[in-house]
């Protein structure tokens, strides 16, 4: 049967689904998933057509950061044994190269020997294991190939049984097993474990270069609820308790051995001193036991660094707005590891803290952010015009990029008290919506002013308050209107986490930075200009 590989379109989805079900059984993707993936601008799908029928398909996502992922390769039984799988794989690799990818990754079932052999013969090497990755509990092996160095592919075209990303029926995968070793000479991306304990989340993350392998977070948030805010001693005690289980879980999820780690990174500051010390102490113990270098890194720069896990690099220059319960900072990032400037920060409460305090005023639980957002959904954001801190002309002269949320919190309190004193009912929804509007407005007004003033067409958001839907929605609208590219890493990388610390550590290593000395301490006020401590 003769066959041809062509670009796949959404119109191919019905016939692709037949191949999909045949190849992957219970692990088959839905038609919606495949259609959405084909339509996505960052992916490229190919279809194999034989005698007018689609008999196979494959897809790759080529990110701008120099890394590509093979999403799937499936070939129907009718076309096996004809080298279709290898041909598809090579098309995907070619596509990745054209998109300037330097590395290409895939995952494959550990029991799929035929596919593994094919990948090895095409120059892929093992970089990790992910236990219980597939629906039936099977382990996935992660493989990688450099696209920069010359790779000598050996072995005949002719193997089948390919599919990365997920499972296929073992029986459907019998093909010619190709043996042979490829010679891949690539600088391996550093495997870094990151520890974050600056506030109430114990985070341990593991990355390989810009690739996220594990991101485990234990939060003591519930223990703080009855106090209405994070209690440093409660947080620090919780860090010590969570340390060992969080470490072990991260290692298990990453499918690596701790002895394979190339370096340890830890948040040295800023943050709560007693909480930071648990992480720094632990990181030193870990680094010494593993006999590996240690990097004490900046928490705020870590938030910016989270973006490398999402798109392979932090595109600079960018303005970064970091908003959490502990920070409200506006940074100008010209270079992640070498040139971060603090444009402004809150002079009193952090934005997240204001959410907590206003939630209490309104009788809403801790943490305030999600409850305010929910209450605000049915409220009128224009009901009350709450003040925008440090936005008056005189403030803009002295505090152009600084924030203040103490005033808006007091204004809400005054408003609520005046309504209640008059015997009327306070509209929780309107008050929440109006307060949220004021906070979101001032955050974005100042961030976008910085973009405009500095001629920087990019804004990156980070910090737990990014979970607020109103902030994200307004950011999208206002950035689009101003022609500013908006970056919001996945929420799990926006809230405090160890993966961003590991990612920053990896960037520091790749930039050739020497590790920190063993004698650094926790620095609760570490300035954002210091990406790592000496």
Partner 1 sequence: MILAVDSSSGTSVALVGAARVVAEASSDDTIGHTEVVGTLIAQVLHEAQASPGDVTLVASGIGPGPFTGLRVGMAAARAYAVALGVPEVGVLSHDAAALEWLEHHYARARTGLAQLDPSVTIATDARRKQLFVSQYFGLDDNWLPVRTQGPSIVSAADAPAEGWIRPERISAGFLGLIAARRRNMGVPQTEAVPQYLRDPDVTPSAGPKRVTS
| Choice from 71, 442, 522, 531 touching partner 1 (CB under 8 A) | 522
Give the range of 64-72, 236-244, 475-483, 485-493 binding partner 1 by CB under 8 A.
236-244
Question: Which is nearer to partner 1, 278 or 444 (by Cβ)?
Answer: 278
SS3 533: coil
Using rule CB under 8 A, residue 449 touches partner 1: no
Using rule CB under 8 A, residue 221 touches partner 1: no
Using rule CB under 8 A, residue 414 touches partner 1: yes
State the Cα–Cα distance between residues 19 and 482, nearest whole angstrom: 45
Give the range of 49-57, 99-107, 237-245, 456-464 binding partner 1 by CB under 8 A.
237-245
User: Residue 194, by phi and psi: left (phi above 0), alpha (psi -120 to 50) or beta?
Assistant: beta
Give phi and psi for 58, each to the nearest 5: -160, 155
Give the range of 54-62, 68-76, 356-364, 387-395 binding partner 1 by CB under 8 A.
356-364
| Choice from 25, 158, 188, 228 touching partner 1 (CB under 8 A) | 228
CB atoms within 10 A of CB 387: 15
Q: How far is CA 333 from CA 192, 312, 338, 487, 500, in A?
A: 23, 16, 9, 13, 16
Give the range of 107-115, 273-281, 442-450, 463-471 binding partner 1 by CB under 8 A.
273-281
Which parts of 426-445 interact with partner 1 (CB under 8 A)? none
| Choice from 294, 304, 308, 433 touching partner 1 (CB under 8 A) | 294
Give the range of 25-33, 306-314, 354-362, 424-432 binding partner 1 by CB under 8 A.
354-362
Give the range of 40-48, 145-153, 226-234, 464-472 binding partner 1 by CB under 8 A.
226-234
Give the range of 111-119, 157-165, 279-287, 373-381 binding partner 1 by CB under 8 A.
279-287
Using rule CB under 8 A, residue 252 touches partner 1: no
Q: How far is the CB of 265 from partner 1 (least distance, A)?
A: 13
Q: How far is the CB of 191 from partner 1 (least distance, A)?
A: 14
Q: How far is the CB of 193 from partner 1 (least distance, A)?
A: 10
Q: How far is the CB of 492 from partner 1 (least distance, A)?
A: 23
CB atoms within 10 A of CB 381: 19
Q: How far is CA 198 from CA 210, 269, 299, in A?
A: 22, 7, 8
Give the range of 60-68, 180-188, 232-240, 498-506 binding partner 1 by CB under 8 A.
232-240
| Choice from 30, 64, 181, 418 touching partner 1 (CB under 8 A) | 418
What is the separation of C-alpha 203 from the centre of its chain, rounded to a whole number of angstroms? 14
Tell the burial category of 291 from Cβ atoms under 10 Å away from its Cβ (0-12, 13-18, 19+): exposed
State the Cα–Cα distance between residues 12 and 238, nearest whole angstrom: 53
Task: Starting at the earlier edge strand, list the strands of the sheet with 339-345.
Answer: 339-345, 328-335, 318-323, 458-462, 485-487
Q: How far is the CB of 96 from partner 1 (least distance, A)?
A: 36
Bridge pairing between strands 318-323 and 294-298? unpaired
Question: Which is nearer to partner 1, 114 or 195 (by Cβ)?
Answer: 195
Using rule CB under 8 A, residue 226 touches partner 1: yes
| Choice from 278, 304, 350, 466 touching partner 1 (CB under 8 A) | 278
Using CB under 8 A, count the residues that bind partner 1. 47
Tell me how far apart the terminal alpha carbons of the chain are, to the nearest angstrom: 65
Using rule CB under 8 A, residue 288 touches partner 1: yes
DSSP 124-190: -EEEEEETT-STTSPPEEEEEEESSS--B--S-S-------SS---GGGG--PPP----B----PPP
Crossing angle of helices 368-376 and 469-482, rounded to 10°: 70
| Choice from 78, 153, 186, 240 touching partner 1 (CB under 8 A) | 240
Using rule CB under 8 A, residue 279 touches partner 1: yes
Q: How far is the CB of 418 from partner 1 (least distance, A)?
A: 7
Name residue, tokens 């002269």.
397
Using rule CB under 8 A, residue 148 touches partner 1: no
- Name 307's Cβ contacts closer than 8 Å, sequence gap at least 6: 313, 314, 460, 487, 489
Q: How far is the CB of 339 from partner 1 (least distance, A)?
A: 28
Using rule CB under 8 A, residue 166 touches partner 1: no
Tokens of 440: 């979101």
Using rule CB under 8 A, residue 394 touches partner 1: no
- Name 220's Cβ contacts closer than 8 Å, sequence gap at least 6: 200, 201, 202, 234, 235, 238, 239, 242
Using rule CB under 8 A, residue 231 touches partner 1: yes
Give the range of 1-9, 59-67, 223-231, 340-348 binding partner 1 by CB under 8 A.
223-231
Question: Which is nearer to partner 1, 406 or 492 (by Cβ)?
Answer: 406
Using rule CB under 8 A, residue 313 touches partner 1: no
Q: How far is CA 62 from CA 66, 94, 105, 156, 457, in A?
A: 8, 11, 10, 27, 23
| Choice from 186, 290, 316, 429 touching partner 1 (CB under 8 A) | 290
Question: Which is nearer to partner 1, 281 or 469 (by Cβ)?
Answer: 281
Tell the burial category of 168 from Cβ atoms under 10 Å away from its Cβ (0-12, 13-18, 19+): buried
Name residue, tokens 């709560």.
272
Instruction: Give the interface with partner 1 as residue ranges (CB under 8 A).
Output: 226-228, 231, 233-234, 236-237, 239-240, 243-244, 247-248, 258, 273-274, 277-291, 294, 357, 360-361, 410, 413-414, 417-418, 421, 518-522
């Amino acid at each position: 049967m003769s066959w041809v590989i062509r670009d796949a379109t959404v119109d191919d989805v019905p016939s692709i689904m037949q191949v999909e079900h045949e190849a992957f059984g219970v692990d088959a993707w839905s038609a919606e998933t495949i259609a959405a993936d084909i339509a996505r601008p960052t992916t490229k799908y190919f279809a194999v057509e034989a005698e007018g029928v689609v008999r196979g398909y494959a897809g790759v996502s080529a990110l701008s950061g120099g890394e590509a992922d093979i999403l799937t390769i499936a070939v129907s039984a009718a076309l096996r044994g004809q080298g279709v799988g290898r041909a598809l794989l090579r098309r995907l690799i070619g596509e990745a190269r054209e998109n300037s990818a330097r590395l290409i990754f895939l995952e494959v079932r550990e029991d799929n020997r035929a596919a593994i052999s094919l990948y090895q013969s095409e120059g892929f090497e093992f970089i990790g294991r992910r236990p219980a990755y597939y629906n039936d509990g099977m382990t996935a092996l992660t493989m990688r190939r450099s696209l920069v160095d010359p790779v000598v592919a050996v072995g005949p075209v002719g193997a089948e049984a390919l599919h990365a990303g997920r499972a296929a029926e073992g029986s459907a995968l019998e093909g010619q097993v190709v043996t042979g070793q490829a010679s891949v000479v690539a600088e391996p991306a550093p495997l870094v474990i990151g520890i974050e304990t600056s506030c109430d989340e114990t985070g341990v993350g593991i990355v390989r270069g810009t690739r996220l392998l594990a991101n485990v977070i234990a939060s003591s948030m519930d223990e703080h609820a009855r106090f209405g805010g994070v209690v440093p001693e409660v947080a620090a005690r919780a860090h010590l308790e969570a340390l060992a289980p969080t470490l072990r879980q991260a290692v298990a999820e990453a499918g690596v051995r701790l002895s394979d780690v190339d370096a340890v990174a830890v948040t040295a500051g800023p943050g709560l001193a007693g909480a930071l010390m648990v992480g720094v102490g632990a990181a030193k113990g870990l680094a010494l036991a593993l006999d590996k270098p240690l990097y004490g890194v900046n928490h705020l720069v870590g938030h910016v660094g989270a973006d490398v896990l999402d798109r392979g690099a932090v595109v600079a220059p960018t303005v970064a707005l970091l908003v959490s319960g502990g920070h409200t900072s506006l940074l100008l990032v010209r270079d992640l590891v070498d040139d971060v400037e603090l444009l402004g920060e809150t002079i009193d409460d952090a934005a997240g803290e204001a959410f907590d305090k206003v939630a209490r005023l309104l009788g809403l639980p801790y943490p305030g952010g999600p409850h305010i957002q929910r209450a605000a959904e049915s409220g009128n954001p224009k009901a009350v015009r709450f003040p925008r801190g440090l936005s008056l002309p005189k403030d803009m002269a002295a505090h152009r990029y600084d924030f203040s949320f103490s005033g808006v919190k007091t204004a809400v309190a005054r408003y609520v008290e005046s309504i209640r004193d008059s015997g009327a009912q306070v509209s929780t929804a309107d008050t929440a919506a109006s307060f949220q509007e004021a906070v979101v407005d001032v955050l974005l007004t100042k961030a976008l002013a910085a973009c405009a003033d500095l001629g920087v067409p990019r804004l990156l958001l980070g910090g737990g308050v990014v979970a607020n839907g109103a902030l994200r929605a307004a950011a999208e609208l206002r950035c689009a209107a101003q022609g500013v590219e908006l970056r919001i890493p996945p929420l799990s990388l926006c809230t405090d986490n160890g993966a961003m610390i590991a990612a920053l550590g990896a960037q520091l290593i790749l930039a050739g930075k020497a590790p920190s000395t063993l004698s650094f301490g926790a620095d609760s006020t570490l300035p954002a200009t210091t990406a790592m401590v000496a």
